[in-house]
Amino acid sequence: MSSRISSLFAQEILDSRGNPTVRVHLTLDSGDRVSASVPSGASTGENEAVELRDGDKSRYGGKGVRKAVANVDDIIAPRLIGLDPTKQAEIDALLLALDGTPNKAKLGANAILGVSMAVARAAALASKLPLYAYLGGPGATRLPVPMMNILNGGKHADNSVDFQEFMVMPIGAPTFAEALRYGAETFHALAKILAKQGYATSVGDEGGFAPNLKSNEEACEVIVKAIEAAGFKPGKDIAIALDPAASSFFTEKGTYNLAKSGQGAKSSDEMIALYGHWLDAYPIVSIEDGLDENDWAGFAKQTAVQGHRIQIVGDDIFVTNPVFVRRGIAAKAANAVLIKLNQIGTVSETIQTIGLCREAGWRYVISHRSGETEDTFMADFAVAMGGGQIKTGSASRSERIAKYNRLLEIENELGSAAVFRSSLPAPGAR
């Protein structure tokens, strides 16, 4: 007989920035208990599902999530008790119906996602399968290449770098464990290089360094040096991926203002030209949100001129939403999607978005948020979905490392069945 949900409740906990977030606890009638915690972004896309905050300034500056917690306890729980957790699609559809808004504004995407993730975890437990095997089936054997954000700027760091994320991707590593070592050793080499040049080695929200470099270019230069100092070949063993998060420096005047570095205002075309120079100068394989979330024409143009050389990832522009991804595919606005469960708010809709990527031959990258918890759901989810890429921060801060450690466990568990390979174009291709 299948297990049923016997109790469900939520709790307000803290994320890695010390802000409140939602944790959902679910018990099955077998007595098995699971929980799931919801992450939170800082450079959010304007069309993301609503993260419900209390707005009561007397607690956490208005960021409390007691309303979302109450929505789980009072509205969602009574409808889910007695249901079979393996009916993920039905339960997620019920959550959408209970909410009744197009953007989860009534119950909150934080309340809904916590429940949706807990249901998946409970179903895996009831099915006696690890989460990645439950969600991905017997074919879920591919470990993701990590995008490790070792240098932070933009909204994630108080420094002079406009672009939010400079990541290393160990594309030439033979296994996930080795990829993680390549990345961690590069991170340590970067610390030494920065310290030697008199820069700070304190870290930003995602665990990367946040030095006051003189320019955005200098970030790529020090990373290439770090890759070499760690004993690896830039572009062969380890490539670079960028997330400028350009919506965060796009201004009302319709220009991209590189204000933090003092490099001035640029048009969409000038930004694309700038990226073109960078592709010639540095071993870059992927650029995410190189342009503003509403600059669909710019995205399409960048994809037309650079999409054969690199992966062009849409994050804020698509917000993991099937509606925007469909539009993006029709407009050829990118060739990959950043997948964040909390941007859309249910496991089922996230899987639907990934289905669209697969049909279009687009890549997809499973991603954390800058505000995270110790929850490792996304590590299992990345293996389950088999896209071969994960973005979950630097080689520091336990909320980031928790995901990497879970992937190490999964690779170990899969043994000789584990697959690890990069499918990105080689850097420098024209």
> Looking only at residues 242 through 271 of this chain, which bind ligand PGA when binding is defined by CB under 6 A?
243, 245
Asked whether the beta carbons of 179 and 392 are under 8 A apart, the reply is no
State the catalytic residue, choosing from 48, 51, 185, 206.
206
Q: Where are the beta strands (DSSP E) in 328-399?
A: 336-339, 363-367, 389-391
70 versus 402: smaller Cβ distance to ligand PGA: 402
42 versus 98: smaller Cβ distance to ligand PGA: 42
Taking the complex as a whole, how short is the minimal distance between the CB of residue 89 and ligand PGA, in angstroms? 27
Place of tokens 């009744």: 100
Annotation says 206 is catalytic:
yes
Asked whether the beta carbons of 58 and 116 are under 8 A apart, the reply is no
| DSSP 8-state symbol, 76 | I
Point out which span in 40-48, 189-197, 258-266, 398-406 binds ligand PGA (CB under 6 A).
40-48
Point out which span in 257-265, 270-278, 285-293, 374-382 binds Zn ion (CB under 5 A).
285-293
Q: Does residue number 243 form part of the binding site for Zn ion (CB under 5 A)?
A: yes
The H or E element that residue 62 is part of is: none
H-state helical runs in 10-144: 66-70, 77-80, 88-99, 109-126, 131-136
Q: Does residue number 293 form part of the binding site for Zn ion (CB under 5 A)?
A: no
Look at residue 369 and give the partner it binds from ligand PGA, Zn ion, none, a contact being a CB closer than 5 to 8 Å depending on partner kind: ligand PGA
For ligand PGA, the binding residue among 15, 23, 41, 287 (CB under 6 A) is 41
Look at residue 370 and give the partner it binds from ligand PGA, Zn ion, none, a contact being a CB closer than 5 to 8 Å depending on partner kind: ligand PGA
Q: Does residue number 19 form part of the binding site for ligand PGA (CB under 6 A)?
A: no
286 versus 367: smaller Cβ distance to ligand PGA: 367
Q: Does residue number 44 form part of the binding site for ligand PGA (CB under 6 A)?
A: yes
342: left (phi over 0), alpha (psi -120 to 50) or beta: alpha
Binding mask 317-356 for ligand PGA (x = CB under 6 A): ---------------------x------------------
Asked whether the beta carbons of 162 and 212 are under 8 A apart, the reply is no
> Looking only at residues 332 through 371 of this chain, which bind Zn ion when binding is defined by CB under 5 A?
none
Asked whether the beta carbons of 150 and 186 are under 8 A apart, the reply is yes
Nearest partner of 334 among 354, 364, 366, 374, judged by Cα: 364
Asked whether the beta carbons of 302 and 290 are under 8 A apart, the reply is yes
Q: Does residue number 99 form part of the binding site for Zn ion (CB under 5 A)?
A: no
Binding mask 308-337 for Zn ion (x = CB under 5 A): -------x----------------------
198: left (phi over 0), alpha (psi -120 to 50) or beta: left
Cβ contacts of 140 within 8 Å, gap of 6 or more:
132, 133, 383, 384, 386
Q: Does residue number 399 form part of the binding site for Zn ion (CB under 5 A)?
A: no
Look at residue 346 and give the partner it binds from ligand PGA, Zn ion, none, a contact being a CB closer than 5 to 8 Å depending on partner kind: none
Taking the complex as a whole, how short is the minimal distance between the CB of residue 188 and ligand PGA, in angstroms? 23
- Angle at 332 (CA atoms; ends 330, 337), nearest 5 degrees: 95
Number of residues that bind ligand PGA (CB under 6 A): 11
156 versus 309: smaller Cβ distance to ligand PGA: 156
Taking the complex as a whole, how short is the minimal distance between the CB of residue 164 and Zn ion, in angstroms? 7
41 versus 234: smaller Cβ distance to ligand PGA: 41
Q: Does residue number 15 form part of the binding site for Zn ion (CB under 5 A)?
A: no
Q: Residue of minimal CB distance from ligand PGA?
A: 41
The H or E element that residue 148 is part of is: strand 145-152
Q: Does residue number 315 form part of the binding site for ligand PGA (CB under 6 A)?
A: yes
Cβ contacts of 43 within 8 Å, gap of 6 or more:
154, 155, 156, 164, 245, 247, 248, 316, 370
Can you tell me whether residue 123 is helix, strand or coil? helix
Annotation says 225 is catalytic:
no
Q: Residue of minimal CB distance from Zn ion?
A: 315
Point out which span in 63-71, 288-296, 299-307, 339-347 binds Zn ion (CB under 5 A).
288-296
Asked whether the beta carbons of 115 and 80 are under 8 A apart, the reply is yes
Q: Does residue number 43 form part of the binding site for ligand PGA (CB under 6 A)?
A: yes
Q: Does residue number 370 form part of the binding site for ligand PGA (CB under 6 A)?
A: yes
Cβ contacts of 310 within 8 Å, gap of 6 or more:
279, 284, 285, 286, 287, 424, 425, 427
Where does this chain bind ligand PGA (CB under 6 A)? 41-44, 243, 245, 315, 338, 367, 369-370
Where does this chain bind Zn ion (CB under 5 A)? 243, 289, 315
Q: Which residues are catalytic?
A: 206, 340
